[in-house]
Amino acid sequence: MAGRARKSFLLRASPGVMAAVERLAGAELRSVNAQLEVLVREALTRRGIPLPSDRADDDTA
């Protein structure tokens, strides 16, 4: 993962949403940041939006 370019952004979310994401991340042994990326990728895929295949270390399995 070292050397991969990452884009930072500020996310404002309700405390309830963040608490749910934190619980899910803990259950799936991911950081909150990694869990948010998984959730965004899943949502984009469900909507039919293609993603670049830039994940050599795919940890969603």
In 1-61, alpha helices (H): 15-27, 32-46
Q: pLDDT at residue 61 above 70?
A: no
pLDDT for the residue 55 = 57
> For the segment 2-59, what is each residue's pLDDT rounded down to a tens digit?
667 888 999 999 999 999 999 999 999 999 999 999 999 999 999 999 998 765 555 5
Q: What is the pTM of this model?
A: 0.75
* CA 46 – CA 6 distance, rounded (Å): 23
pLDDT for the residue 56 = 53
- What is the phi/psi pair of residue 15, to 5°? -55, -35
Q: Which residue has the tokens 């899943």?
A: 42
Provide the token pair at 43. Answer: 């949502």
Q: What angle do CA 27, 50, 2 make, to 5 degrees?
A: 55
